[in-house]
Amino acid sequence: MDFSERRSWWRRLRPYVVVFDPPLALIIAALLSVGLITLHSAGMAIPGKVWDQLRNIAAAVLVMWLVANIPPQTMMRLAVPVYLLGVALLVAVALFGIIKGGSRRWLYVGVQIQPSELMKIAMPLMLAWFFQREQGHLRWQSYALAALLLAIPAGLIARQPDLGTAMLVTAAGACVIFLGGVSWKALAALGAAGAAGLPLLWAVMHDYQRDRVLTLIDPYHDPLGKGFHIIQSMIAIGSGGVTGKGWTHGTQAHLEFIPERTTDFIFAVFSEEFGLAGNLVLMALYLLLIWRGLAIAQHAPTLFTRLLAGAITMIFFTYAFVNMGMVSGIVPVVGVPLPFMSYGGTALMTLGLAGGILMSIQRHR
Element holding 148 (H helix, E strand): helix 140-158
Question: Please, what is the average pLDDT of the chain?
Answer: 84
Give the CA radius of gyration of the chain. 21
The pLDDT value recorded for residue 12 is: 64
What tens digit of pLDDT does each residue of 310-356 get? 999 998 999 899 999 988 888 888 778 899 999 888 889 889 999 99
Angle in degrees, 0-180, between the axes of helices 140-158 and 115-134, rounded to the nearest 10: 180
Q: What are the sequence ranges of the domains in the chain?
A: 37-363
pLDDT for residue 136 is more than 90: no
pLDDT for residue 138 is more than 80: no
pTM for the model: 0.88
pLDDT band for 172, please (50, 70, 90 cuts): confident
Cis peptide before 332 (omega within 30 of 0): no
What tens digit of pLDDT does each residue of 207-232 get? 767 777 777 777 777 777 777 778 88
What tens digit of pLDDT does each residue of 39-66 get? 988 887 777 888 999 999 999 999 999 9
Q: DSSP letters of 316-329?
A: HHHHHHHHHHHHHT
Beta carbons of 86 and 115 less than 8 angstroms apart: yes
Cis peptide before 161 (omega within 30 of 0): yes
Beta carbons of 65 and 360 less than 8 angstroms apart: no
